[in-house]
Amino acid sequence: MASSLTKDSATPGTPGSERTFFGHPRGLATLFMTEMWERFSYYGMKALLPLYLVAPGGLHLSAATATAIYSVYLSLVYLLALPGGWFADRVLGPRKTVAVAGVIIMLGHLTLALPSSGTFYGGLGLVAIGSGLLKANISTMVGHLYDGPDDPRRDGGFTLFYIGINLGAFAAPLVIGTVGENVNWHLGFALAALGMALGLTQYLLGGRHLNPRSHEIPTPLSAEEKAATLRKSALWAAVAVVFYCVVGFSGHYTLNWLLVPITIAGLIIPVLVIARIKRDKDLDRAEQSKMSAYIWFFVAAAVFWMIYDQGGSTMSIFADSSAENTIFGWEFPVSWYQSVNPVMIMALAPVFAWAWLALNKRGKEPSTATKFASGLILIGASFFLFLAPLTIAEGGHKAAAMWLVAIYFVQTVGELTLSPVGLSVTTKMAPAKYASQMMGVWFLAVTAGDATTGLLSIAEVDLNKTGIVALEATLAVIAGVAVWMYRKKVKVLMGDVH
């Protein structure tokens, strides 16, 4: 990556002297590589997780339990992004918080690498905590590299950063998945730890190129607030420890005692957060109206992610048991399916960016609500398509790999009409009082969607049956049609946001 650093005139106030990264501040190279390796570790572990959970040589759990664990884990990662942002804003600042997050993630993967089911869930918890701390803050530091929101290089910088995410996500299943499935599960998890170690090393060595603002604690806790926060944290931790000790020593503990509370929290907390912002009397009429519109987008996103994230659980478990995972006679590991989406994202994202701009110049760019409706209809269509390989498998045959590739393709197109648009509209519609928190609120839509999947799995609903897949697909399409039908009302509520 060093060859991409070139001499250029430095923007005043930008760290990195005269050297740039594709014309961007040199600190972007540090954050690009850090995020690439962190995503390598995260997506590699994620590709292995459901397969390890159901494998005879792994934990050998049922498909429903494996899907529940996977969904609750993803839900927790995105739920913890909100306190992760708070921790950086009030306690350590973004730069130190990301360093701490990297260490926690690495320790989590190392814990997963231990050949013991007893430590496995602790490792998952550590990775979730670290990912929540990192996810909320590394993007903030990318923003710090530029001279405010009007810096013309800003959008391009985030696009490069997004490429780093998808490079890591693409490579991870090919490397970590192959080793985990074909050599040893725990060696695969150890490779994920190595990936995070490389990212952390890059981050610490390149930290001098980051903007000094990343060191700052925007709103530090006062001594009184620190004491109160520690007291409350200690109290809740003690309650949890006592509760689980009682349940454990009484012989009543099952995995559901852990999964159910997290799942319920994943459904309730997003509702409480949105309701608290909506009821805030400090918001003026225009901000209240925008929040009413935002609820439409939030609910739509939750339905979308509920189905989309099953690409790594429901569909992966199906591929493991019921698909012919070969192309032209060459067999490949099941985890490789998880590389399909990131490579398609890298191929299609520039096309979508060009298309929206071209349509905008002609005055024909679809509204945000129309884009969301399209995303929902496409994610529903992907699960209607899923009915074909499910039917083939129910007939006693193995489904062709290209069925699954086609499903991932449709889901990727749906993602590109909804996810980047959702990130953008979140920043545009955020009330001034909650400007720094709204990205965490957007992540809560993922939490709500994954928590719903987790709840269905805990209830022993078989998500690989044609009936439930058809029901989910129908729900998404109905939600998409509803958003489209009410698009004019939503547009009015959005006010001056386009």
* Confidence tier at 11 by pLDDT (50, 70, 90): very low
Please write the tens of the pLDDT for every residue from 99-143: 999 999 999 999 999 988 778 999 999 999 999 999 878 888 888
Phi and psi angles of residue 20, each rounded to the nearest 5 degrees, phi first = -130, 170
In the predicted model, what is the mean pLDDT of residues 173-195?
95
Please write the tens of the pLDDT for every residue from 15-55: 444 577 778 888 888 999 999 999 999 999 999 999 999 99
In the predicted model, what is the mean pLDDT of residues 471-495?
93
Q: Which residues contact 184 (CB under 8 A, 6 or more apart)?
A: none
In the predicted model, what is the mean pLDDT of residues 242-265?
88
pTM: 0.89
Which of 3-12, 113-122, 382-391 has maximum average pLDDT? Answer: 382-391
Predicted local distance difference test score (pLDDT) of residue 1: 39
Please write the tens of the pLDDT for every residue from 349-369: 888 888 888 888 898 889 889
Element at 469 (helix H, strand E): helix 466-485
Residue 346's Cβ-side half-sphere holds a number of Cα atoms within 13 Å equal to 15
Whole-number Å distance between alpha carbons of 59 and 109: 17
In DSSP terms, which residues pair with 331 in a beta bridge? 326
Q: Which residue has the higher pLDDT, 444 or 3?
A: 444
pLDDT over 70 percentage in the chain:
95
pLDDT over 90 percentage in the chain:
60
Whole-number Å distance between alpha carbons of 138 and 164: 12
- Residue 14 scores a pLDDT above 60: no
* DSSP result, 290-331: HHHHHHHHHHHHHHHHHHHGGGTTHHHHHHHHHEE-EETTEE
Q: Which residue has the higher pLDDT, 434 or 38?
A: 38
* Residue closest to 82 by CA, chosen among 444, 449, 476, 377: 444
In the predicted model, what is the mean pLDDT of residues 415-426?
86
Predicted local distance difference test score (pLDDT) of residue 251: 85
In the predicted model, what is the mean pLDDT of residues 154-160?
76
Phi and psi angles of residue 228, each rounded to the nearest 5 degrees, phi first = -65, -40
Predicted local distance difference test score (pLDDT) of residue 493: 87
Whole-number Å distance between alpha carbons of 447 and 74: 7
Q: Give 3-state DSSP helix, strand, coil % of the chain, rounded to 5.
A: 80, 5, 20
* DSSP result, 57-100: TTT---HHHHHHHHHHHHHHHHHTHHHHHHHIIIII-HHHHHHH
- Residue 8 scores a pLDDT above 70: no
User: Average pLDDT, whole number, for the chain?
Assistant: 89
* Confidence tier at 149 by pLDDT (50, 70, 90): low
- Residue 248 scores a pLDDT above 50: yes
* Residue closest to 393 by CA, chosen among 63, 173, 72: 63
In DSSP terms, which residues pair with 400 in a beta bridge? 324
Predicted local distance difference test score (pLDDT) of residue 3: 37
In DSSP terms, which residues pair with 20 in a beta bridge? 6, 25
Whole-number Å distance between alpha carbons of 498 and 492: 10
Predicted local distance difference test score (pLDDT) of residue 18: 53
* Confidence tier at 480 by pLDDT (50, 70, 90): very high
Residue 308's Cβ-side half-sphere holds a number of Cα atoms within 13 Å equal to 29
Q: Which residues contact 477 (CB under 8 A, 6 or more apart)?
A: 376, 377, 380, 381
Element at 471 (helix H, strand E): helix 466-485
In the predicted model, what is the mean pLDDT of residues 234-251?
90
Structural Rg of the chain based on CA atoms:
22
Q: What are the Cα distances from residue 321, in Å, to 63, 282, 337, 396?
A: 10, 54, 14, 11
3-state SS, residue 7: strand
Residue 254's Cβ-side half-sphere holds a number of Cα atoms within 13 Å equal to 5
- Residue 311 scores a pLDDT above 90: yes
Predicted local distance difference test score (pLDDT) of residue 228: 93
Whole-number Å distance between alpha carbons of 301 and 272: 17
In the predicted model, what is the mean pLDDT of residues 274-294?
90
Please write the tens of the pLDDT for every residue from 396-408: 899 999 999 999 9
